[in-house]
Amino acid sequence: MEVGMGGNESEEHASAAKAATKREAATAGAEALWIFASALGAAVAVDNARAEKAEAAARDATAAADAATAVALSENDELNVRVAALRVEVSKAQADTTAKRRETVVLERRLEELQKAMEEKENESEVTIAAFQITLRDTRETRARCAKERERFHYVLACNGQTGSVPFSFLESDRDSLLYKMYGGNWDYARDEKGRALVTCHPERWAAVLEHLATGAVPAEWDPLLLAQARYWNLQRLEASISYGWVCWGYDIHELVSEPLARAPHSLVVEVEARYED
């Protein structure tokens, strides 16, 4: 009985030892499992933190990329707007260039027409100038002839229609005479249809008057009518020459020289040759 009881205790003791060993092994396994689980949880937490950090970095990168994309799109839109505006300006410039070319063609045609018109006008002007030069030459010649004609005194004797002309210098030789004052001044004297002066004088006396004005000569023969004509024209030198210088033939000396001597200067010496015939 005692042997049997001792064997049971040993078995119980062995079973208890086994059970304790199993419990220790289970406890050690549980601890190892807990340690593994803790390590695994820590690793998972680290991985999660890294993943969250990576996700945050990815989100930041995505946001930055989105912002850069938005900026790029905005710049692209601005560039597109500028390109469109430049295309409009280029089209307008091309249209302006085309219009300018057309205007240039029109202006060149007008210039050619104006050049042709100017050439025609120059030709016409040359012809007109040549005609004007001929007219001017003729006018100058006419004026020269008129000037020469004006420098001469043209007359018509009223008694017989005799015509003639003498230089005005003949009349100017005795400026105190009525002849010069009437025909050489501004008097309105009688004229014919050609503008020549109508002179009332005998042809022989008129020729003697003109000869005296031209040369100072006095006719050698006594002519009382010439003396009267000299007094009428107030030709004092001719009158004095007739009165004081002629040889007297067959006239009363008192009647001949009384009036001239009364008007003669006191210093004048008068020589008179008197001849009487029975």
What are 174's two structure tokens?
A: 């005795």
Q: Tens digit of pLDDT for each residue in 51-81?
A: 888 888 888 888 888 888 888 888 888 888 9
188: confidence class by pLDDT, cuts 50, 70, 90: confident
What the block records as the tokens of 278 is 């029975």
pLDDT tens, 230-262? 999 999 999 988 876 544 444 444 444 444 444
Q: Give me the DSSP letters along 159-196.
A: TT--EEEEEHHHHHTTTTSHHHHHHSSS----B-TTS-
Mean pLDDT of 146-157: 75
- One of 1.10.10.10, 3.30.499.10, 1.10.3210.10, 3.30.710.10 is the CATH number of 151-275, namely 3.30.710.10
pLDDT recorded at residue 226: 92
Q: Residue 152 in 3-state DSSP?
A: strand
Q: What pLDDT is stored for residue 255 in this prediction? A: 45
Q: Name the pLDDT band for 162 (thresholds 50, 70, 90).
A: very high
Q: Tell me, what's the pLDDT at 31?
A: 79
